[in-house]
């Protein structure tokens, strides 16, 4: 995923500490480093680590795929998720985040952009460090309406600032950075979103929030401001290259123009929109944004909206929808799909100088796919075609993050997965029973 889209054959990557230090032909590398341990073999496919730019790490995991798919998204949120969050303990957030991140790394996801912790972001940081995954953490904020962690504008901003200071100024957190995060929608006052955006700028970080996954945000903003959401936010000076919009499905031409003009990034979670029937096939503009040079990343959302944490599955769906909606097989390819979850995803979140491609000097986030499974039989002359259209995260055998091997033989090396599975299952049953949904 370098600028030339090179596919290197019979090659090797050398990891020194946390950095990619050498790339070259295997025989040459082996002569230089005859005694170094080797991960993978001549049949392996090696890629950069995958970037998941929108993932809810708390609560949903504990009741994974339990919310019915025959109800509206509003019912799912207010009859299920909000009451579940009301029960969540500090340990629940650690447990949920750990389980999600274990699935992520075993599917080759080396960077997870957490979509906003409702209660205990420090437990999410602990989970990142426990698993050995790279990513961001943030604290949800909203100052309109009722719900978990609602506060005044000043209270929300104070909590955002505290997390930025504690995480980003802490030298013991090499893998995790804090972002500013608001719930978004129309649950943030103009004062809050303006000041939160400026807070991110002032602290050399980013801000993310949800906007327009369905038509409700559009209707609310038009009623309140007379403008569509992104037009209104652009007028406030909120948008910019430090902003990552989650979803932005129901947008019009004027909003597309503002995204492009301000270099604001957008993360698309296509499985979630299909799962929740939010209208991506009828209203989505993500393909148009990508075609016009917008900064686009992909995400998996939550385990009751998208459910699986598998970026290969997500990338193939996004590109498939793009090709089909345009009736054009040349508009996007398997190569575009892989770029969206590697280098282009890294560009969207402002981290392409560190991650997203296998290049000397970048952080050693590396994924090894074994090709002995049925999805790789017979081997294609183009491994990227086969990786995107035929395979998924189940072919991942080994993962290195920041120079440390965190997956070996398809198993996360840092967590007892048997014990974790039992604890998650037991807690999930208890939460559902308390909700009367067991």
User: Residues, the chain, total?
Assistant: 438
In the CATH scheme, what is the code of domain 50-348?
3.20.20.140
Other Cβ atoms closer than 10 A to 136: 26
Q: Which residue has the tokens 């957008």?
A: 266
Contact (Cβ atoms closer than 8 angstroms) between residue 93 and residue 62: no
Task: Judge if the upstream peptide bond of residue 378 is cis by omega within 30 degrees of 0.
Answer: yes
Res 34: pLDDT: 93
Res 214: pLDDT: 93
Res 181: pLDDT: 96
User: What does the longest C-alpha to C-alpha distance in the chain come to?
Assistant: 69
List, run by run, the mean pLDDT of 10-residue segments along the chain (438 residues).
84 96 96 94 96 96 94 86 89 97 98 92 96 96 82 95 91 88 95 98 97 95 97 98 97 97 98 94 92 96 95 98 92 96 97 96 98 95 96 97 97 95 96 89
Res 125: pLDDT: 96
Res 304: pLDDT: 93
Task: Please tell me the distance from the alpha carbon of residue 127 to that of residue 94, in angstroms, as a whole number.
Answer: 6
Res 338: pLDDT: 97
Res 81: pLDDT: 87
Contact (Cβ atoms closer than 8 angstroms) between residue 151 and residue 189: no
């Amino acid at each position: 995923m370098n600028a030339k889209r090179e596919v290197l054959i019979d090659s090797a990557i050398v990891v020194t500490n946390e950095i990619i230090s050498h790339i070259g032909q295997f025989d040459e590398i082996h002569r230089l480093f005859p005694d170094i341990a080797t991960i993978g073999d001549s049949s392996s496919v090696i890629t950069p680590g995958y970037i998941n730019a929108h993932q809810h790490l708390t609560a949903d995991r504990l009741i994974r795929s339990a919310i019915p798919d025959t109800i509206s998204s509003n019912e799912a949120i207010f009859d299920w998720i909000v009451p579940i969050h009301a029960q969540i303990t500090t340990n629940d957030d650690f447990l949920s985040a750990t389980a999600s991140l274990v699935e992520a790394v075993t599917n080759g996801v080396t960077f997870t952009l957490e979509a906003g912790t409702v209660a205990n972001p420090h437990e999410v940081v602990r989970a990142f460090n426990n698993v050995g995954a790279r990513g961001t953490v943030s604290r949800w904020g909203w100052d309109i309406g009722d719900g978990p962690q609602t506060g005044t504008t000043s209270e929300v901003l104070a909590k955002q600032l505290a997390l930025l200071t504690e995480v980003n100024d802490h030298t013991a957190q090499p893998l995790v950075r804090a972002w500013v995060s608001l719930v978004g929608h129309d649950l943030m006052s103009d004062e809050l979103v303006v000041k939160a955006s400026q807070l991110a700028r002032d602290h050399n970080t980013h801000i993310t929030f949800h906007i327009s996954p369905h038509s409700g945000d559009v209707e609310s903003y038009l009623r309140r401001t007379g403008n569509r959401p992104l037009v209104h936010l652009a007028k406030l000076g909120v948008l910019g290259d430090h902003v990552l919009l989650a979803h932005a499905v129901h947008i019009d031409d004027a909003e597309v123009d503002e995204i492009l003009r301000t270099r604001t990034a957008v993360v698309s979670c296509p499985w979630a929109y299909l799962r929740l029937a939010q209208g991506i096939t009828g209203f989505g503009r993500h393909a148009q944004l990508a075609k016009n040079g917008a900064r686009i990343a992909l995400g998996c959302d939550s385990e009751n909206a998208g459910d699986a944490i598998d970026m290969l599955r997500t990338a193939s769906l996004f590109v498939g929808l793009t090709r089909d909606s345009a009736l054009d097989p040349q508009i996007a390819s398997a190569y575009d799909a892989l770029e969206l979850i590697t280098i282009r995803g890294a560009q969207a979140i402002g981290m392409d100088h560190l991650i997203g491609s296998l290049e000397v000097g970048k952080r050693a986030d590396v994924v090894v796919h074994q090709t002995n499974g049925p999805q790789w039989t017979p081997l294609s002359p183009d491994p990227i075609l086969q990786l995107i259209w035929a395979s998924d995260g189940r072919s991942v055998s080994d993962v290195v993050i920041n120079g440390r091997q965190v997956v070996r033989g398809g198993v996360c090396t840092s967590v007892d997965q048997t014990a974790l599975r039992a604890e998650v299952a037991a807690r999930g049953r208890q939460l559902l029973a308390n909700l009367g949904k067991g």
